[in-house]
Amino acid sequence: MSLLIRGGTVVNAEQMMRADVLTDDSGKIAAVGENLAAPAGAEIIDAGGAYVMPGGIDPHTHMQLPFMGTVASDDFYTGTAAALAGGTTMIIDFVIPSPKQSLIEAYDTWRGWAEKAAADYSFHVAVTWWDDSVHRDMGTLVKERGVNSFKHFMAYKNAIMCEDEVLVNSFSRAWELGALCTVHAENGELVYHLQKKLLAQGINGPEGHPLSRPPEVEGEAANRAIRIAQVLGVPLYIVHVSCKEALDAITRARNEGQRVYGEVLAGHLVVDDSVYRNPDFRFAAAHVMSPPFRSKEHQEHLWRGLMGGNLQTTATDHCCFCEPQKAAGKNDFTKIPNGTGGVEDRMMVLWDQGVRTGRLTPMEFVKVTSANTAQIFNLYPRKGCIQAGADADIVVWDPEGTKTISAKTHHQKIDFNIFEGMNVTGIPVHTISRGKLVYTKGDLRAVQGAGRYVDRPSYAPYFDALEKANALKAAKAVERV
Ligand code: URP
Ligand code: ZN
Ligand code: ZN
Ligand code: ZN
């Protein structure tokens, strides 16, 4: 069955135009143009007064992640269903092998969990340790399993943290394979040191969380990863950039011609660090995530990074833990499972605080919510673009529609919302996933298992550019007679 989305303004990263959009029964966009005729049996969606945009892609989620002694409460079905309710039609989640666990075994486990997803998905794979089997498995993942990005945690000492040796080995191997390395940038050794010091001082509540992870800790790790990537001549993507220090490291590197990308979370753009001083443990602990929320000053820098193009993507790091799970750290903030939700809210928060404030144009909104992610992770223009032949992942957006975000009404399987009470203007009216109407005017019709795994080919276009740049700088031996 096909859909005809009629009378809207199509917004792509590069242009906006009045056009109808027709989908076909294979889940692709068949045509984009003026006054398209409806094929027999087509369902017509009235998009008068609305924007018709690529569905959001959230490049950073953790559905049902086993983490810090518990498991994230939103699974691949409930989490992707919530995403669809918010206009996000694809996630890139993370396979996180335990140290010494085979990467392929972990990947197969995550693929099994994700079969129930209601929206399309793909995986970054974390490299948490190193030996020859990891080197080999990275090759298998890229050549046979559609993986083109690897993740490295520079924090979480005694768990999944990578030392520099792993970073150097993995970054080098990824480059051979045409895959992008990503990092969670926080100096885990310093975090560990500060955590112990704070606990010894008697600071054991959630206020200890940001104190143990100050911006310098993030700035140091971001800069270290950037410099390692620079020496190796490889591209780098830094996840959840939360502070001026990390952004400055990215900006400096980009100004020096280095290919470094930065991601910012909707939460870091609008939630500030006063939440950790709330006397209610439940409230403060619900905001414990890493890196932590920062002061308003950092938020303004992050917005400028996004507007100026030094941060290219927005995400959520959706990793939900409910009150009983957070209670594990009642007497010790280091035991509070790190993570918050937001996959359903990101697009609305970005529109309300980005487009309605004049920080972003609708086209820039598309860039930072889908198109840039699709380009960086080599999915473009299959995803992140409204054009004939692309996947029919579409959101019909009412720029004047309003809503109050609340845990009482959201679809995310978490008993808290970090955007609670925020009145947003600009909401999804219809979400279309692979040509199927899965959310319409408040009615969520997500289907368990309807999401598909999306292969991402290696060698995104910037690899070729970087190969050329590296060749000009290649080391040469001196020829002696
Ligand atoms: O606190 C967070 N961010 N939890 C999820 C794991 C990670 O660091 O991304
Ligand atoms: Zn992280
Ligand atoms: Zn400043
Ligand atoms: Zn994460």
Convert the pLDDT of each residue in 368-383 to its tens digit: 999 999 999 999 999 9
5-19 pLDDT per residue, tens: 999 999 999 999 999
At residue 438, the pLDDT reads: 98
Ligand 1: residue whose CA is nearest its atom 1 = 289
Q: Which long-range contacts (CB under 8 A, 24 or more apart) does 80-83 make?
A: 80/117, 80/118, 80/119, 80/121, 80/446, 80/451, 81/118, 81/119, 81/411, 81/444, 81/446, 82/343, 82/344, 82/410, 82/411, 82/412, 82/413, 83/56, 83/58, 83/119, 83/343, 83/344
What is the H or E stretch that residue 166 is in?
A: helix 164-177
311-370 pLDDT per residue, tens: 999 999 999 999 999 999 999 999 999 999 999 999 999 999 999 999 999 999 999 999
Q: Residue 467 domain-assigned?
A: no
At residue 1, the pLDDT reads: 86
What distance in Å separates the CA atoms of residue 71 and residue 113, rounded to the nearest whole number? 13
Q: Find how far residue 409's CA is from the centre of its chain.
A: 23
Contact 385, 12 (CB under 8 A): yes
| Widest distance between CA atoms in the chain | 80
**Residue 448 buriedness (CB in 10 A; 0-12 / 13-18 / 19+):** middle
Calculate the alpha carbon distances from 369 to 44, 87, 154, 286, 427 in Å. Answer: 26, 10, 26, 25, 14
- Which tokens go with 400? 């004047």
User: Residue 104 sits in which domain range?
Assistant: 55-386
At residue 443, the pLDDT reads: 98
Counting atoms of ligand 1 from 1, which one is nearest the CA of 288? 1
Q: Residue 224 domain-assigned?
A: yes
Q: Ligand 3 centre and the CA of 212: distance in Å? A: 21
Contact 391, 90 (CB under 8 A): no
In this structure, what DSSP letter does residue 327 have?
Answer: G
**Residue 291 buriedness (CB in 10 A; 0-12 / 13-18 / 19+):** buried
Ligand 1: residue whose CA is nearest its atom 9 = 317
Could you tell me the CATH number of the domain that includes residue 282? 3.20.20.140
Nearest ligand to the CA of 268 is 1
Q: What is the ipTM of this complex?
A: 0.96
At residue 284, the pLDDT reads: 98
317 lines ligand 1 (CB under 6 A): yes
At residue 387, the pLDDT reads: 98
Q: Residue 209 domain-assigned?
A: yes
Work out the pLDDT band at 447, boundaries 50, 70, 90.
very high
Which one-letter amino acid corresponds to residue 8? G
Nearest ligand to the CA of 65 is 1
Q: Residue 440 domain-assigned?
A: no
User: What total of structural domains would you count in the chain?
Assistant: 1
At residue 372, the pLDDT reads: 99
Mean pLDDT of 259-270: 98
Contact 153, 62 (CB under 8 A): no
Nearest ligand to the CA of 338 is 1
Nearest ligand to the CA of 215 is 3
CA atoms within 13 A on the CB side of 424: 27
What distance in Å separates the CA atoms of residue 217 and residue 226, rounded to the nearest whole number? 14
Mean pLDDT of 443-457: 98
184 lines ligand 1 (CB under 6 A): yes
126 lines ligand 1 (CB under 6 A): no
Instruction: Using most ligand atoms within 8 A of CB, pick from 275, 289, 294 the residue to mutate for ligand 1.
Output: 289
Q: What are phi and psi of 56, to 5 degrees?
A: -65, 150
In this structure, what DSSP letter does residue 240 have?
Answer: S
Q: Residue 400 domain-assigned?
A: no
Instruction: Using most ligand atoms within 8 A of CB, pick from 271, 338, 340 the residue to mutate for ligand 1.
Output: 338
Q: Strand 43-46 relative to strand 3-11: parallel, antiparallel, unpaired?
A: parallel
Instruction: Using most ligand atoms within 8 A of CB, pick from 317, 321, 336, 414 the residue to mutate for ligand 1.
Output: 317
Ligand 1: residue whose CA is nearest its atom 8 = 290
Q: Residues whose CB is under 5 A from ligand 4 (ion)?
A: 317
287 lines ligand 1 (CB under 6 A): no
Q: Residue 464 domain-assigned?
A: no
62 lines ligand 1 (CB under 6 A): yes
Work out the pLDDT band at 453, boundaries 50, 70, 90.
very high
Contact 18, 9 (CB under 8 A): yes
Alpha helices by DSSP H, listed for 309-448, are: 323-326, 346-350, 362-366, 372-376
338 lines ligand 1 (CB under 6 A): yes
At residue 274, the pLDDT reads: 98
What distance in Å separates the CA atoms of residue 318 and residue 411, rounded to the nearest whole number? 13
Q: Strand 313-315 relative to strand 16-23: parallel, antiparallel, unpaired?
A: unpaired
Q: Residue 244 domain-assigned?
A: yes
Ligand 1: residue whose CA is nearest its atom 4 = 339
Ligand 1: residue whose CA is nearest its atom 5 = 339
Alpha helices by DSSP H, listed for 184-337, are: 188-200, 208-212, 215-232, 244-255, 266-270, 281-286, 296-308, 323-326
Nearest ligand to the CA of 61 is 4
- Tell me the helices (H) and strands (E) count for the chain, helix number first: 16, 19
Ligand 1: residue whose CA is nearest its atom 7 = 290
135-177 pLDDT per residue, tens: 999 999 999 999 999 999 999 999 999 999 999 999 999 999 9
242 lines ligand 1 (CB under 6 A): no
What distance in Å separates the CA atoms of residue 60 and residue 443, rounded to the nearest whole number? 26
In this structure, what DSSP letter does residue 294 have?
Answer: B
At residue 66, the pLDDT reads: 98
What distance in Å separates the CA atoms of residue 106 and residue 94, rounded to the nearest whole number? 10
217-244 pLDDT per residue, tens: 999 999 999 999 999 999 999 999 999 9
340 lines ligand 1 (CB under 6 A): no
Residue-wise DSSP of 199-214? HHTT--STTHHHHHS-
Instruction: Using most ligand atoms within 8 A of CB, pick from 287, 319, 340 the residue to mutate for ligand 1.
Output: 319
How many other C-beta atoms can be found within 10 angstroms of the C-beta atom of residue 274? 12
Measured torsion, CA atoms of residues 263, 267, 269, 270, in degrees rounded to the nearest 10: 170
What distance in Å separates the CA atoms of residue 352 and residue 11, rounded to the nearest whole number? 17
Average pLDDT over the chain reads 98
182 lines ligand 1 (CB under 6 A): no
Q: Residue 410 domain-assigned?
A: no
Of the candidates 60, 51, 61, the residue with the CA atom closest to the CA atom of residue 12: 51
Ligand 1: residue whose CA is nearest its atom 3 = 290
